[in-house]
Amino acid sequence: MTSRREFLKAASLTLGGVGVGLAGLRLARAEEHEIEVAASTLRWAMVVDLPRWIDLQDHEQVFQVCHRAHNVPDFSGLADPEERIRHAIKWIWDEPFANAFPGQHHEVMTERYREAAAPVLCNHCESPSCVRVCPTQATWKRDDGIVMMDMHRCIGCRYCIIACPYGSRSFNFRDPVQGLDPGSITPSYPRRMRGVVEKCTFCSELSDGSGGAWEPECVRASQGALSFGNLRDPRSEVRRLLSERFSIRRKPDLGTNPYVFYLI
Amino acid sequence: MFEHVFRGGYRYWLLVGSLLALITAGVIAYLVQYNQGLMITGMSRSVAWGLYIAQFTFLVGVAASAVMVVLPHYLHDYHEFGKITILGEFLAIGAVTMCPLFILVDLGQPRRIMNVFLHPTPNSLMFWDTVVVFGYLIINIVISRVMYESERKSVAPPKWIKPLIYLSIPWAVSIHTVTAFLYCGLAGRPFWLTAILAPRFLASAFSAGPAMLIILCLIMRAYTRFDAGEKAIGKLAEIVTYAMVINVFFVLLELFTGLYSDMPHHMHHFEYMYFGLHEGGEVHANLAPWMWTSAVLSVVAVVVLLIPKARRDLRILGPTAGVVVLALWIEKGLGLVVTGQTPDELGHVVVYSPQPLEILITLGVYGIGFLIITVLYKIALSIREVETG
C-alpha cells in the first residue's frame, strides 16, 4: 500500500512540470507543519526560558562561547561602522522582542517584554526554506531534525539567506581569518574560506552519534536559561518545560515549523 | 560566417574598441573581487542579492526580444518580421549569455560552480533556472545559425528546424516564469510572494525586449544600409504599447493589494521603495528617487505610445523606446530585488548601495553582451548589405 506522501509524489512526477511537480511535493509535506511527537524516536529542539534569559546578566558571554567554539569571525572592530553591520557573522545573538517576534509587540505591553532582547539562532525547522532552495544540497536536514551546513560544498549563491525567514544565516563577505584572534582558535572545528554561508548547527559536532543528548555551548553557558534535548522523549527536559509553561515560536504562520521554543 | 567580423568601417571598430575597453575594465575589477571576495560590493547579511542578480533578472526579460518577433512571423504568418527574426534571436543570444555571467560574478565560490551540476537538486528553483536559461541559449544559437546559413545560401531552411522554432516560443515563457519562481515561492519575502510576479516578468519582458529591438533597428537604419522597414518597426511599437500598458496595469494591481490590505509586512516594502523607512533615527530613502523616475517614465512612455501619430513618428518612437527600457531597467534592475530585502527578515533597514568595483564588473558583463550582439549583427548585416547593394 502506498502512503499519501508517496502517492502525491508519484502523481506530481507523472504530471511533470516544475510548478505542478513542486506544488505536489509541497502538498506531500503538509504534514511536516505539525509537531509530531511519535514519528521517530529522535528530534532535537531548544527551549529558551525568556524570563530567565532577561534576568541573565551577561548575554554577550553566551554568544562568545559559541562563536569561539566554532571559529566565528568577529568583525566588530572594523574601521567602517557600516561594514561591521554588513559583514557580521552571527550564529546566536540578541534581537529586540519586536524584531524577534514581529506582530507580537505593542506599545503598552509589559515593560519587561517590551524592552526585552530575545536570543535568536537557526530554528532547525521541520520544513526549512533554506534546504528547499539550496542548488547543491550544501545545506540539508538530518533525520534527527538538525539543519546542517557543508561550508566546503557551498558555492556562495546566498539563495538560502534570501529564503530563511529568520535572518539566521551569515555570508563570509571577508576572509574569516581576518576576524579571528589567533590566541583563541578552536583547532578541532573546521576553518572555512570566504564566500560561503554558515550558521548554527546545534553543536552537532558534540554528538557522539549514539542518539544521546549533548549540551550545546550556548546552553552550557546560559545558566539554565536555555535547554536542549530530544522532543520525542516524553521524559526530556524540553518536553517537561513545554508541557508546563506557555511557549511561542518565531513566525509560526509561515509553515516552516521551527524547533526553537520561547517560554513566556 | 565569422569572416565578416574582421572587416568593417571606423565606426564599427570604434564601437568594438570601446566595448573591449569596458570589458577590460570589468575583468580587472573582477580580478580584485576574485582576490578579495564579495566584500568589495555593497551587499550585506541583510541585502544578500544586489546589482548582479538584479541585472540577471532584467536581462532574462530582454531575451524575450526573440519570441516577440518569432511568434508573429511563424504562428501568424506576419512576414514583415521575416527580415528581423534573426536580429531578435541574436539580441536574445547576447542577453541570455549575460545571465549566467551575472550569476557567476555573484558567487562567493565561483570555482565550485560545477557543484550545481554534480549535485543536481530539482527542488531548488536555481536548478530549473539553469536548465531553462542554458536551454534557451542553445535553442537560439541553433535556430539562428541554421536560419543564417539558409538565408546566405538562398535555400529553404531544413524542415526539422520548424519544431525547434515552435519549441522556442513556450521556452521563452518558461525562462521568465522560472526566474519569477526564484522569488515568488519564498514564505518569508512578502514583497515577492505574489502570484502575479511571473505575469509581471512576462509583461515587462515583452516591452523591454522589443523596445531594445526597435532601438537597434533605428540605429541600423541610420548608420547601415539595412532597413527593417517602417511596417516592421511600427508593429514592434504596437507590441511594446500593449505590453507596457499591461505592465503598468500589473504594477497598479500590486500596489492595490499591497496597500489596501494594509498588512504591515507588505506595506513596509512599498513604503521603503517610494518614501523610505526609518531606522536608527534616520530616514533611508535611497531608492525613492529612482522609483519615482521609473514611475514617471513608465506613464510618459504609455501616453506617448498610445497616441498613434507619436508612435508612428520614428523620431519620437526611438527616444520613447529608450524611456521604456530605462523605466523597466530601474524597476527590475534596481527596485525589485533590493526592495524585497529591505527591511530585512528581522525588520532592520540595512541600506544597499552598489560600490564602484561592483558597478564596473556589471558594466564589464554588459560590455561582453553588447560585443556579442555587435558581432552577431555585423554578421547578419553582411549578407543583407550584399543583397541590397
Identify the segments of chain B with pLDDT beneath 50. Answer: 387-389
Which residue in B has a C-alpha nearest to residue A95's C-alpha?
B346
Task: Identify the three-state secondary structure at position B338.
Answer: helix
Q: Is the pLDDT of residue A105 over 70?
A: yes
- Angle A114-B47-A88 (CA atoms, 0-180°, nearest 5)? 70
B178 touches chain A (CB under 8 A): yes
**Residue A88 to residues A93, A261, B88, B145, Cα–Cα distance (Å):** 11, 25, 45, 49
Residue from A162, A171, A175, A177 to probe the interface with B (highest B Cβ count within 10 Å): A162
Cα B231 from Cα B244, distance rounded (Å): 20
To the nearest whole angstrom, how far is the Cα of A123 from the nearest Cα of chain B? 14
Looking at residue B389, its pLDDT comes to: 34
Residue at grid coordinates 538562398: B154
Looking at residue B291, its pLDDT comes to: 96
Q: Judge: B39–A157 Cβ closer than 8 Å, yes or no.
A: no
Cα B112 from Cα B92, distance rounded (Å): 27
Cα B129 from Cα A131, distance rounded (Å): 17
Residues 222-241 on A with a CB inside 8 Å of B are none
Q: How many CB atoms lie within 10 A of CB A61?
A: 12
Looking at residue B74, its pLDDT comes to: 86
Residue A149's beta-bridge partner residues?
Answer: A139
Instruction: Give the homologous superfamily in CATH for domain B2-388.
Output: Formate dehydrogenase/DMSO reductase domain (1.20.1630.10)
Q: How many CB atoms lie within 10 A of CB A82?
A: 13
Global pTM reads 0.91
Domain extents for chain B? 2-388
- Angle B32-A133-B108 (CA atoms, 0-180°, nearest 5)? 10
Cα B71 from Cα B62, distance rounded (Å): 16
B345 touches chain A (CB under 8 A): yes
Helices B356-388, B51-62: crossing angle, 10 deg rounding: 20
Residue at grid coordinates 505590453: B243
Q: Which grid coordinates belong to B231? A: 511596417
How does DSSP classify residue A143?
T
- Angle A200-A204-A206 (CA atoms, 0-180°, nearest 5)? 125
Looking at residue B337, its pLDDT comes to: 96
B33 touches chain A (CB under 8 A): no
The interface predicted TM-score (ipTM) is 0.92
Q: Write out the H or E segment, with its range, that includes residue B10.
A: helix B10-36
Which residue in B has a C-alpha nearest to residue A99's C-alpha?
B346
For the stretch A44-98, pLDDT in tens is 999 999 999 999 999 999 999 999 999 999 999 999 999 999 999 999 999 999 9
Cα A255 from Cα A163, distance rounded (Å): 13
Cα B69 from Cα B381, distance rounded (Å): 17
A40 — pLDDT class (breaks 50, 70, 90):
confident
Answer for the pair B213, B91: CB distance below 8 angstroms, yes or no: yes
- Strand A226-230 and strand A197-198: the pairing is unpaired
Looking at residue A34, its pLDDT comes to: 66
Q: Judge: B49–A25 Cβ closer than 8 Å, yes or no.
A: no
Answer for the pair B197, B182: CB distance below 8 angstroms, yes or no: no
Looking at residue A15, its pLDDT comes to: 47
Burial bucket for residue B34 (CB in 10 Å: 0-12, 13-18, 19+): middle
A264 touches chain B (CB under 8 A): no
Choose among A86, A155, A159: nearest Cβ to B112. A155
| B111-141 residues labelled b (16+ CB within 10 A) or e (exposed) | ebbebbeeeebebbbbbbbbbbbebbbebbb
Q: How many CB atoms lie within 10 A of CB B158?
A: 10
Looking at residue B388, its pLDDT comes to: 43
pLDDT greater at residue A115 or residue B302:
B302
A109 touches chain B (CB under 8 A): no
3-state secondary structure A155-199: CCCCHHHHHCCCCCCEECCCCHHHHCCHHHCCCCCCCCCCCCEEC
Q: Is the pLDDT of residue A26 over 90?
A: no
| B236-261 residues labelled b (16+ CB within 10 A) or e (exposed) | bbebbbebbbbbbebbeebeeebeee
